[in-house]
Amino acid sequence: MTSLPGRIGWSVTGDRTLDFARDPMDFTQRHIKAFKSRMFQGRSMNRPHAFVASNQGLKEVLEEKADMFSMGYRDFGYMYSLFGDLVIFSSDDEALRLRGILHKIFKPEEVTGYMSQVEIVSTRLLNTINDRDIVIPYKMFKLLTTQICLSLFLGLEMESAKEEAKAIIELTITHWHGLISVPVNFNERLLNIVSKRLAEEKSGFLSVVREAEFQSKAEMANHVLLFVSALIPKALAALMTSFCLELAKPQNAEKRRKAAQDDRYLENVLLEVKRLWPPFLGGRRLAKQDVVIDGYKIPAGHYIALLTRAANCDPKIFPEAETFLPERWDTCNQLDRERVWTFGGGPRMCIGDKFIGKIIKLIAKHLLQSYEWELVPNQDLTYKWLPVARPKHDVEVAFTKIGL
Ligand code: HEM
């Protein structure tokens, strides 16, 4: 058992928050190189942090030693003031109770019903891509995923309620800006809309939520707010963008054609996209007691910065870790499918994981079977990783309809 390399540093002056936020990838690689270790410590948000970039480290924190940690989000930026009491801030029995309710809302039979609505919205929007259109994928997917979430989680009819949808989208954008920069108290207006629709909606998702065993109307509305907020559409749009851009590279044209015909190969492509471009760069925990992770001693009271993207690309598990290689899932990494941490893991794993998987596959298949697509040449494809993983610039892709 070894002490974590690195120094916690002085309060304020030793804080590394800005260094990390400026370029999280460079921050992580620099420290891994300097300490020759994928586990190190430092001061972030003015608190002692253990940075965990090893795949084994994430496995232990999320799965094997999960009960030694509490979730670290309640005092993370403005999250709690914007969302209120939510599963993500809870622990122990309270977390179990809320997860039980949410699992029922997203059980497979219900998800099958939700999917028919997702299909209607997706088909309508994707069919507006014309032959030889030049598209900015992130913009297109954000429009699509926002429409999916508002139609599904709020029961908004996107065609007939355009003005209402526009007003709600503006509120969700302001709410999002509150999350990532200044605190603004906009959740009340959004919560009022959620509560009104919860009372009115006769069928679909909101009626399933109404029947669920939430302890109060406020608890119910807070959880719907989570799904309606910009967080989920942005994360979903980020994943779809990474899928689209990677397969738009000229060297991947053959992979794209194979994915269009072979379902198993498409699943490998999507898993590889999740591995390389997790929308959320990482997660957070708080050590309740002294604990050993991947051989390093972490003292009680340390926060854990889970560096999901770095762990997904740990060369100890993934050969040619930075290379897009869907074939790995049927060869060298066939036993490692559960070592991609994009949706978390263990007892606090994302509840929407399977549902998101179905939505992504539906959109991916529609695109693969209807279009060929290719990057417009000579563009800067550099990624930014915060707040969600996506290209820094408005990268363009040319779509061509198949079979015209
Ligand atoms: C691409 C989209 C999404 C991504 C990348 C994502 C990712 C994640 C991750 C990484 C966690 C774990 C956080 C942690 O352990 O610290 C999580 C938790 C959660 N996710 Fe998702 N998620 C997505 C979409 C969704 C959707 C669509 C739903 C609902 C249908 C959802 C519901 C939840 C809930 C309720 C939790 C909290 C679980 C708990 O606190 O026990 N997520 N998500």
Which tokens go with 57? 């480290």
Centre of ligand 1 to C-alpha 280, Å, is 10
* DSSP tag of 15: B
Which tokens go with 211? 């029947």
The closest residue, in CA terms, to atom 21 on ligand 1 is 350
Centre of ligand 1 to C-alpha 315, Å, is 26
Centre of ligand 1 to C-alpha 322, Å, is 24
Q: What's the rounded Cα separation, in Å, for the pair 303 and 288?
A: 9
User: Does 304 contact ligand 1 (Cβ within 6 A)?
Assistant: no
Longest C-alpha distance within the chain, in Å? 65
Query: Residue 116: its pLDDT value, please?
Result: 94
User: Does 191 contact ligand 1 (Cβ within 6 A)?
Assistant: no
Query: Residue 170: its pLDDT value, please?
Result: 78
For residue range 56-86, what is the model confidence (pLDDT) as tens digits?
Answer: 999 999 999 999 999 988 887 777 877 888 9
pLDDT > 90 fraction of the chain, expressed in percent and rounded: 77
User: Does 87 contact ligand 1 (Cβ within 6 A)?
Assistant: yes
Which tokens go with 273? 């996209």
Residue 351 CA: distances (Å) to CA of 98, 344, 347, 348, 401 = 11, 10, 10, 8, 35
Angle at 209 between CA 207 and CA 213, to 5 degrees: 125
Mean pLDDT of 198-215: 91
Q: What's the rounded Cα separation, in Å, for the pair 309 and 334?
A: 19
User: Does 53 contact ligand 1 (Cβ within 6 A)?
Assistant: no
Can you tell me which residue has the tokens 């991916």?
Answer: 364
Nearest atom in ligand 1 to 88's CA: 40
* DSSP tag of 363: H
Q: Classify strands 2-3 and 296-298 as parallel, antiparallel or unpaired.
A: parallel
User: Does 236 contact ligand 1 (Cβ within 6 A)?
Assistant: yes
Q: pLDDT category, 181, cuts 50, 70, 90?
A: low
For residue range 10-46, what is the model confidence (pLDDT) as tens digits?
Answer: 877 888 889 999 999 999 999 999 999 999 999 998 8
Q: What's the rounded Cα separation, in Å, for the pair 341 and 334?
A: 16
Centre of ligand 1 to C-alpha 304, Å, is 18
Residue 272 CA: distances (Å) to CA of 53, 54, 70, 78, 321 = 18, 18, 29, 32, 10
Query: Residue 344: its pLDDT value, please?
Result: 98
Q: Is residue 136 left, alpha or beta, with left meaning phi > 0 and alpha meaning psi from -120 to 50?
A: beta
Q: pLDDT category, 228, cuts 50, 70, 90?
A: confident
Centre of ligand 1 to C-alpha 275, Å, is 16
User: Does 350 contact ligand 1 (Cβ within 6 A)?
Assistant: yes
Q: What's the rounded Cα separation, in Å, for the pair 87 and 336?
A: 28
User: Does 360 contact ligand 1 (Cβ within 6 A)?
Assistant: no
Judge whether residue 182 has pLDDT over 70. Answer: no
Query: Residue 162: its pLDDT value, please?
Result: 74
User: Does 153 contact ligand 1 (Cβ within 6 A)?
Assistant: no
pTM of the entire predicted model: 0.95
Pocket residue to mutate for ligand 1, from 205, 206, 284, 351, most atoms within 8 A of Cβ: 351
CA neighbours within 13 Å on the CB side: how many for 238?
25
Instruction: Give start and end residues of each alpha helix (H) in 60-186.
Output: 79-83, 92-105, 108-126, 137-154, 162-180
Nearest atom in ligand 1 to 99's CA: 41
Nearest atom in ligand 1 to 349's CA: 12
For residue range 249-292, what is the model confidence (pLDDT) as tens digits?
Answer: 999 999 999 999 999 999 999 999 999 999 999 999 999 999 99
Q: Classify strands 397-401 and 134-135 as parallel, antiparallel or unpaired.
A: antiparallel
The closest residue, in CA terms, to atom 11 on ligand 1 is 350
Centre of ligand 1 to C-alpha 349, Å, is 7
